[in-house]
């Protein structure tokens, strides 16, 4: 794409993520004026024929305000209770501001389980695309009311990237209370340089990003950098900009480059492989010998049992697991043809011995190349 011009200018399908500090006015309850401004801008984009999904933080923060709690609790049941209370206000507010522009909003709550299961993943995709075709604005949040550590997505920057990949959006816009990305923390380093444009996935960006800057939200600039890296796998560009900029979405849509733009340069992964790459939690991993690690890194090869040195974790046939080298670096992941117990018995052995070791043979490969994605 042309550099120096906002990726939103040519985007037909857009995911917009707004953070807690923007939605709740730094935790003081929902900022209805801010929600109204975003609804007005999104309505104009929809009127131009674009499809927009809104990923919104704020349920827990709104719940804290409604319950009169001054601090975010640490206990999971209290967080889930706050989310349940706050979700009511959040949905009511969005439905109200979108209705003023003749649009309906739809609430969609997701967990990692919804996206890790292939059938539920496809159902979520179909539902979202149907809503977009109906000119409805889906408002998505993590389902904090039922989330536990095992099924938690972690933050809404990550959720925004996962939804971007799920619906194959052209662009992810992350609205925050910061101008964008700096080469260092500008609050600590007066020599910090603003980053107008860079390549999504550049390791240097992760070094630049600092920690969380808000007492309300859970994500800092690093989560946004990693979200851009993840979104780039489906070919989506990412824009990180201040949600307090006047008409920020409309100006980006006109091509004005506001904030930091992170360009996706690699070809998009096929949808099935994108789903595998988007797993945040894996039940197991295979430690490979040097030869198998090189073969997988080069691409186009299946993983045979003979190349596996160690099987870690407990998993079933068909689950997505990681493939790591001897130093523990993940180089690929894929859907395994054998459960953990069987994989341990055939690890390090040639495929010709699978039947004698197990009493049967399903496939000669532990992971077939069609079910394998390089990272």
Task: Give the largest CA-CA distance in the chain.
Answer: 69
Q: What is the DSSP string of 308-363?
A: EEEEEE---TT-EEEEE-TT--EEEEEE-SS-HHHHHHHTTS-GGGHHHHHS--S-
**Beta pairing, strands 237-242 & 260-263:** antiparallel
Q: Which residue has the higher pLDDT, 10 or 148?
A: 10
Tell me, yes or no, whether 192 and 328 share the same domain.
no
Residue 216 scores a pLDDT above 60: no
**Is residue 2 in some structural domain?**
no
Q: 240 in helix, strand or coil?
A: strand
Domain limit, last residue, from 273, 302, 324: 273
**Is residue 133 in some structural domain?**
yes
Spatial neighbors of 345 by CB under 8 A, at least 6 apart, are: 357, 358
Q: Return d(Cα 138, Cα 316) in angstroms, integer.
A: 34
Tell me, yes or no, whether 318 and 205 share the same domain.
no
Tell me, yes or no, whether 262 and 293 share the same domain.
no
Tell me, yes or no, whether 77 and 175 share the same domain.
yes
Residue 163 scores a pLDDT above 90: yes
Q: Return d(Cα 218, Cα 241) in angstroms, integer.
A: 18
Tell me, yes or no, whether 255 and 336 share the same domain.
no
Tell me, yes or no, whether 138 and 266 share the same domain.
yes
User: Based on the structure, what is the number of domains in the chain?
Assistant: 2
- Residue 334 dihedral angles phi and psi, to the nearest 5°: -175, 175
Structure-block tokens of residue 297: 């890194």
Q: Find the DSSP H helices in 48-180.
A: 59-67, 76-99, 112-116, 118-133, 156-166
Tell me, yes or no, whether 137 and 214 share the same domain.
yes
Structure-block tokens of residue 160: 């925004």
Tell me, yes or no, whether 65 and 144 share the same domain.
yes
CATH of the domain at 33: 3.40.1160.10
Nearest to 282 by CA among 239, 255, 316, 310: 316
Q: What's the pLDDT tens digit per position in 187-213?
A: 788 888 899 999 998 888 888 775 444
Q: What confidence category does residue 149 fall into, taking pLDDT thresholds of 50, 70 and 90? A: low
Domain limit, last residue, from 240, 273, 306: 273
Q: Which domain holds residue 252?
A: 7-273
pTM above 0.75, yes or no: yes
Q: Tell me, what's the pLDDT at 214?
A: 39
| Listed range (95-99, 110-114, 129-133, 166-170) with the worst mean pLDDT | 110-114
**Is residue 335 in some structural domain?**
yes
**Is residue 354 in some structural domain?**
yes
Tell me, yes or no, whether 321 and 223 share the same domain.
no
> Own/partner pairs for 296-300, CB < 8 Å, 24+ apart?
296/323, 296/331, 296/332, 296/372, 296/374, 297/331, 297/332, 297/374, 299/374, 300/369
Rounded to an integer, the average pLDDT of 106-120 is: 87
Q: What's the pLDDT tens digit per position in 325-345?
A: 999 999 999 999 999 999 999
Tell me, yes or no, whether 20 and 97 share the same domain.
yes
Tell me, yes or no, whether 286 and 269 share the same domain.
no
CATH of the domain at 319: 2.30.130.10
Domain limit, last residue, from 209, 240, 273: 273
Tell me, yes or no, whether 355 and 239 share the same domain.
no
Looking at every residue in the chain, the average pLDDT score rounds to 88
Q: How far is CA 264 from CA 189, 233, 241, 242, in A?
A: 29, 8, 17, 21
The DSSP 8-state label assigned to residue 198 in this structure reads: E
**Is residue 298 in some structural domain?**
yes
**Is residue 1 in some structural domain?**
no
């Amino acid at each position: 794409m042309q550099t120096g011009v906002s990726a939103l200018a040519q985007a037909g399908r857009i995911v917009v993520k707004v953070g807690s500090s923007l939605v709740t006015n730094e935790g003081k309850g929902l900022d209805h004026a801010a929600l109204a401004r975003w609804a007005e801008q999104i309505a104009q984009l929809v009127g131009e024929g674009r499809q927009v999904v809104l990923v919104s933080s704020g349920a827990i923060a709104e719940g804290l305000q409604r319950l009169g709690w001054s601090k975010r609790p640490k206990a999971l049941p209290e967080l889930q209770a706050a989310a349940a209370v706050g979700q009511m206000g959040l949905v009511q507010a969005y439905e109200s501001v979108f209705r003023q522009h003749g649009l309906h909003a739809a609430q969609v709550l997701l967990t990692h389980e919804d996206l890790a299961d292939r059938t539920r993943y496809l159902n979520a995709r179909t539902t979202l695309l149907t809503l977009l075709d109906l000119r409805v604005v889906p408002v998505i949040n993590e389902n904090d009311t039922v989330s536990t550590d095992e099924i938690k997505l972690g933050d809404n920057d990550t959720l925004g990237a996962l939804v971007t990949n799920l619906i194959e959006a052209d662009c992810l816009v992350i609205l925050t209370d910061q101008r964008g990305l700096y080469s260092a923390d500008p609050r600590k380093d007066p020599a910090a340089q603003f980053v107008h444009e860079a390549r999504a996935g550049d390791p240097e960006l992760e070094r630049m990003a600092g920690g969380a800057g808000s007492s309300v939200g859970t994500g800092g600039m690093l989560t946004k950098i990693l979200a851009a890296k993840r979104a780039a796998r489906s070919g989506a560009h990412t824009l990180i900009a201040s949600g307090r900029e006047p008409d920020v979405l409309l100006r980006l849509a006109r091509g004005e480059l506001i904030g930091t733009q992170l360009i996706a340069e690699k070809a998009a992964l096929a949808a099935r492989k994108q789903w595998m790459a988007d797993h945040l939690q894996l039940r197991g991993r295979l430690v490979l010998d040097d030869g198998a690690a090189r073969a997988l890194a080069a691409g186009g090869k299946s993983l045979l049992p003979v190349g596996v040195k160690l099987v870690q974790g407990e998993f079933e046939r068909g689950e997505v697991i990681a493939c790591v080298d001897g130093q523990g670096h993940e180089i690929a992941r894929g859907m395994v043809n054998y459960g953990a117990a069987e994989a341990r018995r055939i690890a390090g052995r040639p495929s010709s011995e699978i039947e004698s070791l197990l009493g049967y043979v399903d496939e000669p490969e532990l992971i077939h190349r069609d079910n394998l994605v390089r990272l």
